Amino acid sequence: MLYLFSCSDLNHSLWIFLALFFVLFYEAINGFHDTANAVSTLIYTRAISAHIAVIMSGFFNFMGVLLGGLTVAYAIVHLLPNDLLLNTTSKNALSMVFSMLLAAIIWNLFTWYLCLPASSSHSLIGAIIGIGLTNAIVTGSSLLDALNIPKMTSVFLSLIFSPIIGLIIAGGLIFLLRYFLKNNKIFYRIHMTPLEREKIDGKKIPPLLIRIALILSSIGVSYAHGANDGQKGIGLIMLVLIGIAPASFLVNLHADKYEINYTKKTLNNLEEYYLKKTTNTLNETNNSVTNSQFYDFIKNIQSTKLLLKNISNYNKLSLKQRFQLRHFLLYISESIDRTVKSSNVSSKEKYFLIDSKKIILKTIEYAPMWIILIVALSLSIGTMIGWKRIVVTIGEKIGKKRMTYAQAMSAQITASFSIGIASYTGIPVSTTHILSSSVAGTMLIDGDGIQMKTVKNIALAWMLTLPVSILLSGFLYWMALFLI
């Protein structure tokens, strides 16, 4: 980590330090803003005490970041077009970084103060969109080229549909639990609230098996939150460092000789595959458009091979060559995606192409361990502070009645599996919206009803987060261009 500052002048080192501080501050806010998603159900069902719940959540958030991978992290990085990220001056890079982070931090703190479980993911993505659009306006370039539209579309769809899916699945689980366990002599207590349990059985804590299930499902939410939202923090830091210190972070300079040779071998296999594909397509369909695309793919593969010829250490590449290598590998990755989506590719070929894509992207989709550790630490520390405001909203103000054990468990299981799957597939989703909508779904199916005022406020925050973040980051970026 210290090498970041050793090779820079004092002024540049200060900007790097401030940028890292802002990212970690954002991640800490994310922690205490979203902690309620994992601990509110535990606290309101009296499964464990609030302080133990928060410490446990912080630990498993830490583990989620540490073991969650980097798929979501680079979904965040690639929201900005590669040309905008790489073809920028140091001034523009600093302006982008601080405007984006400040916009997300301001909105997160504002909604936290109002006790609204708004989405940190929405605010971050909105801030990135605002940067791209404002840059296009300032430079006079096309608005369509200002953003990575395919990646943005998939992120938008996940953010829109994930709360709806959470509501339906959690409601479905409650329906099944009602159907199978309502008259069960052992597990009927699962549909009690803590107050009913105390009144009927004279005990404040849930039955043992129900308590274990609540704790395990809460651990699942904490771990999944760390794996998804923690990766966003990693992606943010990499976005910052690629923009401010490209020489050190455009490619993985710590890749060993074996990894580099494996990348070269994969490029050879891809070249051979596309040459064969070109010949077959020419003989079978005479499709000049398809062959023209394949020739472009092959040309880029060959350019990449030429760039890596006799290279056993990426440190030997000049800054210009590192830019070129990153550009070539991203283009090859996008070409593979287009090939996989075509109709004339077999299952075996798809497996080969997807595996090849993973191998070549390891050169540019990476994160040093120190970045993963400081993000994990920031998120877990943030998890242990400031959690009470949102906990009250989720625990008391969504449903008209207190939460039952079954409702808490159904909401947590739904959230942990939904966020876990999203993390594995590389989709950044909102932990807040999935869990709050899951709680609402359980209340609706159980017939308890929901507090419309709270739901309207949450929905308003949901609808406003993206446009406000876009406008705020765009305005801050425009101002920063004249100040920095």
Same domain, 175 and 209: yes
| In-domain check, residue 183 | yes
| In-domain check, residue 5 | no
Which residue segment(s) compose the domain that 291 sits in? 252-361
The pLDDT of residue 389 is: 63
Domain boundary among 361, 392, 417: 361
Same domain, 330 and 459: no
Question: Residue 434 in contact with residue 34, Cβ under 8 Å?
Answer: no
Domain boundary among 338, 361, 384: 361
| In-domain check, residue 176 | yes
Same domain, 54 and 141: yes
Render pLDDT for 311-333 as a digit per residue (tens, 0 to 9). Answer: 889 999 998 899 889 889 988 98
Same domain, 241 and 256: no
Structural domains in the chain (count): 2
Question: Which contacts qualify for 374-377: CB closer than 8 Å, 24 or more apart?
Answer: 374/20, 374/24, 375/23, 375/24, 375/27, 375/65, 375/230, 375/233, 375/234, 375/237, 376/61, 376/62, 376/63, 376/65, 376/66, 376/226, 376/230, 377/62
Same domain, 313 and 373: no
The pLDDT of residue 356 is: 92
| In-domain check, residue 2 | no
Q: How far is CA 1 from CA 26, 68, 77, 239, 440, in A?
A: 19, 21, 20, 16, 44
| In-domain check, residue 258 | yes
How does DSSP assign 402-413, residue by residue? PPPHHHHHHHHH
Same domain, 335 and 416: no
Same domain, 151 and 28: yes
Q: Minimal CA–CA distance to 454: which of 404, 411, 389, 393?
A: 393
Same domain, 64 and 206: yes
Domain boundary among 361, 387, 404: 361
Q: Minimal CA–CA distance to 391: which of 109, 34, 30?
A: 34
Same domain, 282 and 324: yes
How does DSSP assign 138-188, residue by residue? HHT--STTSS-HHHHHHHHHHHHHHHHHHHHHHHHHHHHHHHHHTT-TTTG
Buried b (16+ CB within 10 A) or exposed e, 418-439: bbbebbeebbbbbbbbbbbbbb
Same domain, 317 and 177: no
Same domain, 238 and 300: no
User: Which residues of the chain are under the pLDDT cut of 70?
Assistant: 1-12, 33-37, 81-91, 116-118, 143-148, 151, 185-186, 280-292, 343, 386-397, 399-400, 447-449, 484
| In-domain check, residue 449 | yes
| In-domain check, residue 4 | no
Same domain, 290 and 220: no
| In-domain check, residue 26 | yes
The pLDDT of residue 289 is: 46
